[in-house]
Amino acid sequence: MRNCLPIALALVALALVALAGGRNWIGPGAIWSGLRDPDDFVIRTLRLPRVLIAVGVGAALGLAGALMQGLTRNPLATPDVIGLVQGAGLGYALALATGAALLPGAAGGAAAAMLAVALLSRGQGALAVVLYGIGVGATAMAATTVLLVRAPDAAAAQAMIWLSGSLARADLATATALWSVLGAALAAVALAAHRLSTLWLGDEVMAALGIDPRRMRWLVLALVTALTAAGTLAAGPIGFLAFTAAPLARAVTGAEPPSLLPAALMGACLLTAADLAARLIAPVAVFPTGLVVSLIGAPYLVFFLWRDRRAVSP
C-alpha cells in the first residue's frame, strides 16, 4: 500500500492540471469556485466529466490489464492486445445500431472476443493466444468501422475519432455508469485481494492454500470483461493502455507482481496525461486521446520486444 502513495499523489496533481488546462488555462481559485458552482460551464460541464472519465477509464483498463497479465502469466495477454477492447467496441456499435442497452452490449462483445480467442488458441501456448487475439481484434475493429460508416448521420471523421478512442463525448451520465462498474470491481478486488495475490503463484500453490483455481479464474474473467466493457463504453477502443500500465507501475513503485492498485492508478495517470496532451495538441479541433496513448504504448511494445530479442521464444 505504501508504494501506491507516490502514484496517487501524482494522479491528484495530474487531475488538477487537467482541470486547469485546455484552450484557456484556469487558476486554482477559479477551479475551486467552479467545482462548487453547479452552473460553471467550463469546469462542471466540460472539464470535470472529462477528467472523471479519463481517470475512470484509465483505472479500469489498467486494472483489467494487470488482472489479465496475472491470470495468464503472460505480459502480452492484455485486453487491448488480444482483442477484448476491440470486441467490446464492436458490441457497443451493435447495441447502438439495434437500440439495445449499451453496457451489456459492450460486455457481450468483450466476452465473445474472449471466447473466440480461448477456443482458437486452446492448447497452443502463450504466443498463440496473443496472435489469435490480434486477428480477432482486427476483425472486430473492421466490423465496427463498417457499422459506424453505415450509420445514418455519421461522418468519416467522427467514426475515426471514436474508433481511435476519444473522450470528447464526456458527460456526467457516462461517468456515473463507468464509476459504478469501476467501484464494484475495486470492491471485489479489495475483498478478494488475498486470494488474488495467489493467482501469480500457479494453480498448485492455490490448491494447496485451499483456493479453488477454477473459481478464481471465472472471477478474474468476469472482472476483466466488466472493466473492459465499461472503459470502452466511455471512451471507445483505446489500445496499449492496459498493456503499458502494470509494467510501468511496477517499474515506478517496485511493487511485486499482483500490483493491481498501482496498475489502476498508473492507468489513470497515463490516460489523464494523454487526454490533457490531446486537448493541448488540438485546442480547437477534436483530437482522439487514444492516438496519444498509442504513441506512448507502441514504443513500449517496441522496447519490450527489443529487450526480449535474445530470448527468442517469449
Partner 1 sequence: MTRSSLLPHILLWLACLAALALSLRLGSAGIGFDALLSGQDGLLAGRAVRSLCAMAVGAALAAAGVMLQGLTGNPLADPGITGVNAGAALAAVAWAYFVPGTGGSGILLAAVAGAGGAGLALWGLAGGTAALGRDTIALRLPLAGLAIEAFCLSAAAMLILTDAGMQARYLRWISGAIPPVLRNETGPLAAIGLALAGGFLACGRLALLGLGAEQSHSLGRDPRLTVALVLGLVVVLSGAAVAIAGPIAFLGLIAPFAARGLAGPSLSRAYLCALPLGAAGLTLADTAGRVIARPGEIDAGIVVALLGGPGLILVLRSLLRRAGTA
Q: Which residues here bind partner 1, judged by CB under 8 A?
A: 76, 81, 120, 124, 127-128, 130-132, 134-143, 145-146, 149-150, 156-157, 160-161, 164, 239-240, 281-282, 285-288, 291-292, 294-295, 297-299, 301-302, 305-306, 309-310, 312-314
CA distance 89 to 110: 8
Q: Which is nearer to partner 1, 147 or 182 (CB)?
A: 147
Provide the minimum distance between the beta carbon of 81 and partner 1 in the complex, in angstroms, as a whole number: 8
Q: Which is nearer to partner 1, 60 or 82 (CB)?
A: 82
CA distance 99 to 73: 38
Contact between residue 18 and residue 54 where contact means Cβ atoms under 8 Å apart:
yes
Residue 77's SS3 state is coil
Residue 121's SS3 state is coil
Q: Which is nearer to partner 1, 82 or 246 (CB)?
A: 82
Provide the minimum distance between the beta carbon of 151 and partner 1 in the complex, in angstroms, as a whole number: 10
The label of the residue with cell 511496477 reads: 250
Provide the minimum distance between the beta carbon of 65 and partner 1 in the complex, in angstroms, as a whole number: 16
Q: Which is nearer to partner 1, 159 or 178 (CB)?
A: 159
Helix axes 102-120, 126-150, angle to 10 degrees: 140
Neighbours of 284 (CB within 10 A): 6
Provide the minimum distance between the beta carbon of 127 and partner 1 in the complex, in angstroms, as a whole number: 5
Provide the minimum distance between the beta carbon of 36 and partner 1 in the complex, in angstroms, as a whole number: 35
The CA angle 244-248-249, to the nearest 5 degrees, is: 120
Provide the minimum distance between the beta carbon of 150 and partner 1 in the complex, in angstroms, as a whole number: 5
Q: Which is nearer to partner 1, 149 or 205 (CB)?
A: 149
End-to-end CA distance of the chain: 31
CA distance 190 to 258: 12
CA distance 190 to 286: 37
Provide the minimum distance between the beta carbon of 298 and partner 1 in the complex, in angstroms, as a whole number: 4
The CA angle 201-314-231, to the nearest 5 degrees, is: 70
Q: Which is nearer to partner 1, 81 or 230 (CB)?
A: 81
The label of the residue with cell 487531475 reads: 15
**Residue 304, CA atoms < 13 Å, CB-side half-sphere:** 15
Q: Which is nearer to partner 1, 193 or 295 (CB)?
A: 295
